[in-house]
Amino acid sequence: MHDWRCMELAVALSKYVSEDEPLPLIEEFVSGYAVKHKLTDTEIEILPDLINLRIFSNVIYFTGRAHAGEDSIESLTSRAAAYAKRVRWVNANKDAIVESIKRFMHTSYPTPSGGMMQQPSEEGAVSVVAA
């Protein structure tokens, strides 16, 4: 079972892929995220596709605004090259993205109760090992 956490992380990471050096920014964000939240390997492996989904949702958003007359098509066309660049980067770096995220998600972190948070099972259950 997968839940919203995976898409939530993809949305947050989607902004970093437009930067000059995205991977260190992704790693920095995920290192903090992983302290409180863990994803399964399957969820991590689909993150690049979910990041692209978020980028495509922006395209649909601006297309809809133009179609409804709420904005001009210029709102989309002015961003199109940047969106394409982001998608190309994600596609070219899928393996690096997944490996980086797995590295942080597979690290155990202390919990407030003194235990250690572990990697979740494929069903999404996170175990806490007593200290």
3-state secondary structure the chain: CCCHHHHHHHHHHHCHHHCCCHHHHHHHHHHHHHHHCCCCHHHHHHHHHHHHHHHHHHHHHHHHHHHCCCCCCHHHHHHHHHHHHHHHHHHHCHHHHHHHHHHHHCCCEECCCCCEECCCCCCCCCCEECC
pLDDT 10s digits, 92-118: 999 999 999 999 998 765 555 555 555
pLDDT tens-digit series, residues 43-92 = 999 999 999 999 999 999 999 999 999 999 999 999 999 999 999 999 99
Model pTM score: 0.80
